[in-house]
Amino acid sequence: MTIHKAAILGGGVIGGGWLARLIENGVEVSLFDPDPQAERKLGAVLANAERAYSKLTMAPRGARGAWALAGSVAEAVAGAELVVEAVPERLEIKRRVYAEVEAVNAEAIIASSTSGIMPSELQAEMAHPERLIVAHPFNPVYLLPLVELVAGAKTDPAHIDWAKGFYAGLGMHPLHCRVEVPGFLSDRLQEALWREALWLLHDKVATADEIDTAIAYGPGLRWAQMGTMQTYHLAGGEGGMRAMLAMFGPCLKWPWTKLTEVPELTPDLVDLIGGQCEAQSGDLDPRALETIRDDNLIAIMQALKGNGWGAGRTLAAYERKLFAQGAVKPAEPDLAKPIRTVEMRVPPDWTDYNNHMNEARYGQVFSDATDALMRLIGADGDYVAGGLSYFTAECHIRFLDEVAALEPVHVETQVLGGQNPGSVGKKMHLFHSLHHGDGRLLATGEYLLIHVNLDTRSACEPAPAVGARLAEIAAAHAALPQPDGVGRAVGQRR
């Protein structure tokens, strides 16, 4: 069943998140919330979601569904094929709302967003209880993929099957919680951690910030890509989860949390857990999983580095230290030869389906080389912040040889156009040569840049010190031989 029109009851953080996800995927929505501030609050959630969706994927976004605020539950659910319930977490409120729905709509599937109330309780007083399911999302609903699906005793199982397809179509990852327990799966696990956190706060063992640091710089990075079971499967080394249970099983008896009730690790339970962890990983043995885990952790930390946050900031600080201690560039380069502007290894994710560095990454290396040359002449971060910069106007790249992941490369940069010292003016004409660590010439890049005013976005003279420094290098480099490839057009015969 395709959903054309949905109703959402409740416009808080969860209801608003559902609204964003549904209309993003072309569903028409009518939403009711008695809060007089609902429209303003929803506007803020939708603005967040709009911002997020514009960045989430490179694919063309579909046509958005229309939405409107309704004046009542009855108005919202009229004609709806799906009713998303996101009202406060009180059984009596939810049951009252269902009664209002059933008074006017006998057909729609009712999907409760409850974080943990059992659907059997929710549906107990309904006229058509078979249509109630739990579809429990996670904040922010417009981004996080997980949705827990739970049936009550009277739920029609076909609705769970339908829901798996429906929520997957919204870009989500449905998890069918097969056994109905309060809190389902995710919140049982989260709630245990949360209760321990509350004790740590209550007992003044740690502050909120310390408690968060204890997760976000360690276990949380693992949990973003493998859950507790698979993570511990890898803590056992070659022996996997079975070795882990043998090693840390005794700790279960120790007061490592305030929450000390634990099941006994009988041989049967160890066998059940060990077997499930092995089954979970399929063909991937612990060594293969370690490689996947490491790639994921690196990618996550690099992603956070891009945002200047959390473990990404730690990585950035470490990287700055390495750059500082590894700085091979002399403060004053020898101007009697081209300047070494880049020295690096090819990142593995820079390679493409031909198993070599993608052509666009050659451009990136040359862009980095230009930046390094700019810093050398004083057109650095402060200079750009002051409103002046260079824009690239034109380039010509010759791709002469291949280079594979992790191989060492470096760039030598020669400043051209300095035949008449002092005449460089608004232009910067560079010739970059990309070399393999073994000496092979991999590519050349001829670049013409124009000095600009960042306010007017138009050409202007550089600051005197920058212009003078560039002219000085250009004059020195004028003594170097003209490199092979300068002034060539694409396809031109040598």
List the one residue from 242, 375, 426, 488 that touches a second copy (CB under 8 A).
488
Which residues are within 8 A (CB) of 152 and not within 5 positions of it... i.e. 6 or more apart? Answer: 118, 119, 120, 121, 122, 123, 129, 132, 133, 134, 180
Q: Does 359 bind a second copy (CB under 8 A)?
A: yes
CA distances from 410 to 69, 138, 229, 326, 348 (A): 60, 46, 43, 14, 16
Of residues 149 through 188, those in contact with a second copy by CB under 8 A are 168-169, 171-173, 175, 177-179, 181-188
In angstroms, give the least distance from the CB of 274 to a second copy. Answer: 9
List the one residue from 10, 65, 116, 467 that touches a second copy (CB under 8 A).
116
Question: Which residue reads 């490179």 in tokens?
Answer: 58
- The residue (of 127 and 288) whose beta carbon lies closer to a second copy is 288
List the one residue from 1, 68, 391, 482 that touches a second copy (CB under 8 A).
391
Cα–Cα distance measured from residue 432 to residue 483, given in angstroms and rounded to the nearest whole number: 10
In angstroms, give the least distance from the CB of 129 to a second copy. Answer: 22
List the one residue from 138, 413, 442, 470 that touches a second copy (CB under 8 A).
138
Chain CA centroid to CA 26, Å: 24
CB contact at 8 A, 47 and 54? no
Q: Does 403 bind a second copy (CB under 8 A)?
A: no
Chain CA centroid to CA 244, Å: 30
Of residues 291 through 310, those in contact with a second copy by CB under 8 A are 291-304, 306-307, 309-310
Region for 395 from its dihedrals, namely left if φ exceeds 0, alpha if ψ lies in -120 to 50, beta otherwise: beta
Structure tokens belonging to residue 318: 């470490």
In angstroms, give the least distance from the CB of 462 to a second copy. Answer: 15
Q: Which residues sit opposite 428 in a β-bridge?
A: 449
Of residues 337 through 356, those in contact with a second copy by CB under 8 A are 343-345, 347-349, 353-355
In angstroms, give the least distance from the CB of 468 to a second copy. Answer: 22
Q: What is the DSSP letter of 106?
A: S
Q: Three-state SS across 343-387? A: EEECCHHHECCCCCECHHHHHHHHHHHHHHHHHHCCCCHHHHHCC
In angstroms, give the least distance from the CB of 238 to a second copy. Answer: 7
In angstroms, give the least distance from the CB of 347 to a second copy. Answer: 6
List the one residue from 69, 74, 216, 478 that touches a second copy (CB under 8 A).
216
In angstroms, give the least distance from the CB of 74 to a second copy. Answer: 26
Q: Does 328 bind a second copy (CB under 8 A)?
A: yes
Q: Does 317 bind a second copy (CB under 8 A)?
A: yes
In angstroms, give the least distance from the CB of 76 to a second copy. Answer: 21
Q: Does 121 bind a second copy (CB under 8 A)?
A: no
Structure tokens belonging to residue 207: 């502050």
In angstroms, give the least distance from the CB of 128 to a second copy. Answer: 27
CA distances from 346 to 329, 355, 395, 399, 423 (A): 19, 12, 22, 16, 37
Burial 150-167 (b: 16+ CB within 10 A, else e): bbbeebbeebbebbbebb
Of residues 442 through 481, those in contact with a second copy by CB under 8 A are 446-448, 454, 457
Burial 464-493 (b: 16+ CB within 10 A, else e): eebbebbbbbbbbbbebeebebeeeeeeee
Cα–Cα distance measured from residue 177 to residue 185, given in angstroms and rounded to the nearest whole number: 7
Question: Which residue reads 């009851």 in tokens?
Answer: 9
Q: Which residues sit opposite 85 in a β-bridge?
A: 9, 112
List the one residue from 71, 360, 455, 456 that touches a second copy (CB under 8 A).
360
Q: Does 331 bind a second copy (CB under 8 A)?
A: no
In angstroms, give the least distance from the CB of 488 to a second copy. Answer: 6
- The residue (of 108 and 443) whose beta carbon lies closer to a second copy is 443
- The residue (of 171 and 425) whose beta carbon lies closer to a second copy is 171
Residue 327's nearest CA partner among 335, 319, 338 is 319
List the one residue from 100, 156, 196, 472 that touches a second copy (CB under 8 A).
196
- The residue (of 330 and 492) whose beta carbon lies closer to a second copy is 492
Strand 5-9 relative to strand 82-85, pairing: parallel
Question: x/- site string to a second copy, residues 20 to 49, per CB under 8 A?
Answer: ---------------------x--x---x-
Strand 109-112 relative to strand 132-136, pairing: parallel
Instruction: Provide the 3-class DSSP secondary structure of residue 283.
Output: coil
Residue count at the site for a second copy (CB under 8 A)? Answer: 194
- The residue (of 78 and 247) whose beta carbon lies closer to a second copy is 247
Structure tokens belonging to residue 444: 């050349």
Residue 67's nearest CA partner among 104, 101, 102, 21 is 21
Of residues 48 through 87, those in contact with a second copy by CB under 8 A are 48, 51-52, 54-62
Q: Does 358 bind a second copy (CB under 8 A)?
A: yes
- The residue (of 229 and 460) whose beta carbon lies closer to a second copy is 229
Q: Does 494 bind a second copy (CB under 8 A)?
A: no
Of residues 217 through 276, those in contact with a second copy by CB under 8 A are 217-230, 232, 234-238, 241, 247-248, 250-252, 254-259, 261-263, 265, 269, 272-273, 276
Q: Does 438 bind a second copy (CB under 8 A)?
A: no
- The residue (of 27 and 301) whose beta carbon lies closer to a second copy is 301
